[in-house]
Structure 1
Amino acid sequence: MLGGMLLIVLGYCIAGLIGGAIPGGSGGRAPQQGIRIYVEDNGIHTGIVLPKHAAGQSFDDLVRAGDLADPRYAGHGWLSIGWGERAFYLGTPTWADVSPTTILAAATGSDAVVLHVGHLPEPKGEPGVYPVTLSPDQYRRLVLAIRASFVQGPTVHGYGPSDAFYPARGRYSAVQTCNAWTGAVLRAAGVPMGAWTPFPVTVTSWL
C-alpha cells in the first residue's frame, strides 16, 4: 500500500511538472512599458501583488479597511491576493505548519475556499517576488479574473494586522490548487503561463 501511495504522489508530481511546462492560453510578449504587478511565492502558496488603483480598476468595493485587525494598514498602496482551501490556508502560513492530515484533507477536495488579501507597500526587490509588466488591457483582464473569485460573506482576520480572508468561489482539490488559481488568472490576463500550474515552481518558472 505504501508503495502504491508513493507511485501516486510521484505520478502527480510528474504530471504537474509536465502541465506546467506546456504553454497555455494566448500569452504573448510582455510590454516594455505598462503596469507593474508581482507574483509572490512563499514556497507553499503563490499569489498576485497589484496596485490598489490602476487603469481605472480597484477593489475598493470588495476589500475594506474595517476588514483588518488594524485598519491603519489599509493606507498601503498595494494588495496581495491569493486563493486556496480555507483550513489549509488559514492553518499553514509556513512549511512548519504543514501536516499530512491537512494536505490530504485539502487534496481530496473542498468547497470551503477563501481569498487571502494583504495590504502592503510595493514589494520591489524582495525575495520570492517576481515582477511582471502588463498593458492596461491585460491589467483590466487580470482584475476581472480576480474579482470573479470573490463572493459575499463574512471575513476573517489573517495572519497579522494587515491581512484578511474573504469567502471565495471555486472548489479546491489536488487539481485546482492555490497555484493553479494563480496560473489561471495570469493566463486570463494574457501572461505566458503553463496550461496547469499546481505547484509554485510551475508558476514562477514562466516569470
Structure 2
Amino acid sequence: MTNGIHTDIVVPANNEQMDWRKEIKFSDTKSADTSSEYLAFGWGDRKFYLETPTFSDLKLSTGLNAILGLSKSAMHTTYYKYVQENKECVKIMISTEQYAKLVKYISASFKTDAEHHFINIKTKLNYDNADAFYEAIGSYSLFKTCNTWSNSALKSCNQKCCYWTIFDSAIFQKYN
C-alpha cells in the first residue's frame, strides 16, 4: 500500500499463522475498535513520524538527521476494517511458507521488552484513530528508507521486488 510517497505492508490482523493483535493491541489505538480485519506496517524515522504531522511542519534538523541516519526508527501500524485493491494497494497472494518468512521479517523490525513484547510508543500524535507507533530497530537514512524496508519485506518472502529503491513507485511498477 502506498500514499504516493511511503509504502506499508498490509497483512491480515489475525489468521491461523499469526495473531498480530497480541502485540499490536487495539487498546494502543485511539478508537480501540476490535472489528478491523487488516493491519498495515510502515517502518520509518521516529522523529518524522512523531514530530511532523504535515510536511509543512518538517524541521531541517529532523530531515538532516533522518537522511544521515542519526535518529531512531519507529514502526507505524494501522488497523483497517477493509482494504480496497487499486493502484495504491496491490493484493499479493503468498504461500504459508512465504507468509512465515514475512512474519519473521516484520517481527524482527521491532524492538522488544524483557518479555519479548513490542514496545508501544505512547503519543497523542496519531495519524488517525486506528494507528499506533512502536519502537523499531535500525536507523532511517538516505540508503534505508520506509520504501527500502517494504521492498526488503517483499524480498524476504520471495516476492517481486527491486534490487534496491528509496521510492515507492519502483516497487509498484513491479506489480503493474
TM range (shorter): 0.7 to 0.9
Indicate the residue corresponding to 2:25 in structure 1. 64
Deviates more, 1:181-190 or 1:135-144: 135-144
Aligned residues: 167
Identity of aligned residues (%): 31
1:203 and 2:171 matched: yes
Distance 2:133 2:40 in 1: 11
Indicate the residue corresponding to 2:137 in structure 1. 169
Would you say the 8 A contact 2:37–2:82 is kept in 1? yes
1:129 and 2:105 matched: no
Cα drift, residue 114 of structure 1: 0.5
Question: What code does the residue aligned with 2:36 have?
Answer: H
User: Which of the residues 51, 65, 80 maps onto 2:40?
Assistant: 80
Cα drift, residue 71 of structure 1: 0.6
Would you say the 8 A contact 2:68–2:142 is kept in 1? yes
1:105 and 2:65 matched: yes
Secondary structure of the residue that 1:183 maps to in structure 2? helix
Distance 1:147 1:45 in 2: 20
Distance 1:176 1:155 in 2: 21
Secondary structure of the residue that 1:103 maps to in structure 2? helix
1:45 and 2:6 matched: yes
- Relative to its length, the structure with more strand (as a share) is 1
Structure 1 residues 62 and 110, CA gap change in structure 2 (3 angstroms): farther
Structure having the higher Rg: 1
Secondary structure of the residue that 2:170 maps to in structure 1? helix
Structure 2 residue ranges without an equivalent (≥5): 113-118
Distance 2:19 2:61 in 1: 37
Secondary structure of the residue that 1:54 maps to in structure 2? coil
Distance 1:42 1:93 in 2: 15
Structure 1 residues 128 and 95, CA gap change in structure 2 (3 angstroms): farther
Distance 1:107 1:178 in 2: 12
Cα drift, residue 126 of structure 1: 4.7
Distance 1:62 1:89 in 2: 20
Indicate the residue corresponding to 1:179 in structure 2. 147
Cα drift, residue 178 of structure 1: 0.6
Give the TM-score normalised by the residue count of structure 1: 0.73
Distance 1:201 1:97 in 2: 24
Would you say the 8 A contact 2:76–2:134 is kept in 1? yes
Cα drift, residue 105 of structure 1: 2.6
Would you say the 8 A contact 2:30–2:129 is kept in 1? yes
